Amino acid sequence: MSGLPVFQSLEDVEFVERLGAGLGAGRFKARLAHHDAPVALLLESPGHTDRGHFVAWAQRLARLDHPCIPRVVHVEQVLEPTFVALAYSEGRTLDQALSDPTAPLSPTAALTALAKVAAGLRAAHAAEIAHGALAARCVVLEARLHADEAVRVTGWTPCPMPLPAGVVAEDARALLALARPHLPPDTPLPSDADVRCIDDVLQVMLPTLADRLAEERARAAADLAAAQSERAQAVEARAHARALAVALRAARQAALAAETRAAEHVALDRRRALDRWTHQRMELELLLGRPLMQAELPVAEAPSTPPAPTHLTAGATDAPPPRRRPTHKAERRPSAMRLGLVAVAGAGMVVMGWALSSTEAPEPETVPPVVPEPASTAPLIASEPPTSTPVTAPAGMAYVPAGLVSIGLTPAQVQVVLDQCRVDLGETAAARACTPALLADEAEAAPAKVDAFFIDQLEVSQAQWAECVAAKRCEQQRLRWDLPTQPITGVTRAMASAYCAYRDGRLPTSEEWLRAARGDDARAFPWGDTQVRDAEGDRANAGAYVKGKRVGGRADGHPYPAPVSTFAARGASPFGVANLSGNVREWTATDAEPGGRTATVLGGGWKSLGHELRLSRREVVKPEDFAADLGLRCVRDEKK
C-alpha cells in the first residue's frame, strides 16, 4: 500500500490486496473492524466524482436485494474519502473458468451463468442502477456445497439518477458479447442498434439454453438408468459375497475348534507323563532311603567385624555419621543353614521335609552421636554501607525508580476532569454527561508498591515494527498506513508482547504504566492537574465528536496519529515519558478480569476526548482486538 497517502483518512480498515484501478483511488479486498468476513472496498475520490451523487448511488445499491448482486456491508459518509464496502465474492471469475485446462466451463454452463447475470442486471435496472463496466472478470462463480456454483456480479460503478437509456443499452450489449461465443454459429443475432434492454438478449439466449438443457436432461436420465442397473448387480454380488463370507467364517470356526481339541489332548498326555515320572522318583527314594536329587542351598556368611568409626578416633572434628540400621533380613539375621532329609514311613505314606536352623547375630552397639560446636556467626569481612550510583537507562528508555503509585482521583482532580469534560462537550451536553457520576468508579484508593524499571520514552513507531517484521520475529500489522514516524497500530496484545520480547522486554503492567505517568505527586494527567489545551497550545493529541461519530480532533493539527515525538516537550510525564495520554491507547499486560478473556488498555488515543485522557480511566478490550488508535510501548526490569 506504499505511495497512497489518501488511505491515512480511513480508520478501522485493513487493506488486503488491490482488485483494480476502478474509480478514484481504486478497488480493494479489505477487512473492516468488527466485521468477520472480507469486503470489496470501492473508494470515492473527490477529484473525480461528486460526493453527494456517490453516496446516493451507494444507498440505492444497498437497498437492492438480489442473489446475484453482492450485499452492501457499509457506506462511509463521515470520513474522507467516502467508500462503499460490499460482501467479497470468493471464487473464480468467468474468464478464469473458461480458460481452466483442468475443468473448463461447458457452453451450457456458461450460458446458464450469463442467464443469471441477466436476471441480476434486469433487477438493478428496475432500481435505477446500471453496472457500467460488465466484463467476464466481473462475473464470479462461487462454489457451494452440494450445489452448482453461485453467480455474483461484481465491479459496480456509480451511475446517475434517473438512469439514462444509453447506460442500460450498454449493459445489454456487453451481456450479448459475453454470450456470443457460446451460441450455435447459425444463431441469428440482433445488431447493436436493436439491443436496447436485457430482454432483447434473453430472447436470443433462452431458446438455445432450453434445447441444451433438454439434451443434458435426456443424457442424465439414461445415465441414471444405467447406474440403477449397475447398482442392482452390485447388490446381488454383495449378497453372494456375504453368503460366502458366512460359510467361510463357519469353516474357520470348525478348524479352530479342532485345533483346540488336539492341543488339549497333547497337554493332557504330557501332564500324565510328568505325573508318572514324579511317582517313580518318589518310589525309588523310598526304597533307597535317600533322595535322588538334593538341592544345595547357599550358606550365608557371617558378617565381618566392621572397622572402627572414624569419628571416634582421637582428634576427629567431623560430625559423626548417623547410626546405620540394617534394612535386609540377611543383614538382621546372618545364619548358618543346614539341609537334612527326614523320611518317615508309616501306613504306606512317606513324608520328607527340610529342617532349617539359624542363629541370631547380635545387634551392633549403639554409639551416641557427637554434636559439633556451633560455628561462629561473625562475618569474615565486614560489609561496607551501600553507595548510591546513578542508573543509566538503555537508549530510548527512561528510568522509573521504585515507589508508590496512586490509584484514582482526589476531589480536586475530579473537578479538573469535569471542567475538561465541559470544554469537550459544550454546556448543553455537559449538563447531562459531565457530572460526578461519570467518575464514580475512579475515587482515590490505597497506593500500590511498584519496583524500579525502564520504559520507552516514545511509543513504538511503524519503522521500529518494520525492523521486527524483517527479522521474522513479528507479524505484519493489521492496519498499514506506511508512515514510519507514526506509532504502530493495528496489533493485538499477543503481537505487542512478541515485539517487546524481540526487544528483550515486555509489556508494562497497569501499575507500572501508571507509575511512569503519575510520578510521585499523583497527577491527573501526565503533565499535571491542568487541562489539555491552554494559551500556549495543546499537550496531547485528542479527538472530537463530528456528526455523532468519534473522530480525530483537528484543532491540535493531528486528525489522526501524530509522530511519536510530538508533544514530548509539553505533555511528558515526570520521568520524561511522552504521549502517555493521547495519540494512541496502549496495551498493558494486566488482565481486566481473571482468565485473560479481557485486557486493560490505558492512556486514551487520538479519538478520545480531552477528559478521557485522564490517567485514572481504564478501558477493557479483548486481547485479540486491534484498532487504528491502539498501540504500545515496552518496559524492562532493572538489572540487580
Query: 502-518, pLDDT tens digit by residue?
Result: 999 999 999 999 999 99
- With cut-offs at 50, 70 and 90, classify the pLDDT of residue 148: confident
Decide which of 427 and 189 is more confident.
189
Query: 54-105, pLDDT tens digit by residue?
Result: 888 999 999 999 999 999 999 988 766 678 999 999 899 999 999 988 888 8
Residue position matching grid coordinates 478348524: 255
- The CA-based angle 485-488-492, given to 5 degrees, is 175
Binning the chain into helix, strand and coil, the percentages to the nearest 5 are 35, 20, 45
For 13-162, strand residue ranges (E) read 13-20, 26-32, 39-43, 72-76, 83-87, 92-93, 139-144, 147-153
Q: What is the CATH number of domain 5-210?
A: 1.10.510.10
pTM over 0.75: no
Residues 6+ apart with CB under 8 A from 388: none
The CATH number of domain 397-637, selected from 3.40.630.10, 1.10.1040.10, 3.40.50.300, 3.90.1580.10: 3.90.1580.10
CA 476/CA 487 separation, integer angstroms: 14
CA 177/CA 119 separation, integer angstroms: 16
- Pick the range with the lowest mean pLDDT from 135-149, 401-415, 592-606: 135-149
* Per-residue pLDDT, 429: 82
Strand partners, 84: 42, 75
CA 508/CA 499 separation, integer angstroms: 13
* Per-residue pLDDT, 347: 35
Strand partners, 443: 409
Half-sphere exposure of 112 (CA within 13 A, CB side): 15
* Per-residue pLDDT, 289: 67
Hey, is 292 helix, strand or coil?
coil
For residue 134, which of 108, 95, 188, 88 has the smallest C-alpha distance?
95
Q: Is residue 256's pLDDT more than 90?
A: no
- The CA-based angle 629-630-631, given to 5 degrees, is 120
CA 419/CA 415 separation, integer angstroms: 6
Q: Is residue 307's pLDDT more than 60?
A: no
The separation between the first and the last C-alpha atoms of the chain, rounded to the nearest angstrom, is 45
Enumerate the H helices of 289-410 as residue ranges.
Answer: 329-332
Do 586 and 601 contact (CB within 8 A), yes or no?
yes
Mean pLDDT of 251-264: 84
CA 83/CA 394 separation, integer angstroms: 45
Q: Domain spans of the chain? A: 5-210, 397-637
Hey, is 516 helix, strand or coil?
helix
Decide which of 418 and 365 is more confident.
418
CA 623/CA 593 separation, integer angstroms: 12
- With cut-offs at 50, 70 and 90, classify the pLDDT of residue 26: low
Mean pLDDT of 421-440: 89
Contacts for 74-80 with beta carbons within 8 Å, 24 or more apart? 74/32, 74/35, 74/39, 76/10, 78/546, 78/547, 78/549, 78/551, 79/9, 79/10, 79/11, 79/551, 80/9, 80/46
C-alpha R_g of the chain: 45
Do 92 and 141 contact (CB within 8 A), yes or no?
yes
Strands of the sheet with 72-76, listed across from one edge: 13-20, 26-32, 39-43, 83-87, 72-76
For 329-452, strand residue ranges (E) read 342-346, 349-353, 397-400, 403-407, 445-450
HEC letters along 431-460: HHHCCHHHHHHHECEEEEEECCEEEECCCC
- With cut-offs at 50, 70 and 90, classify the pLDDT of residue 293: low
For residue 70, which of 41, 44, 109 has the smallest C-alpha distance?
41
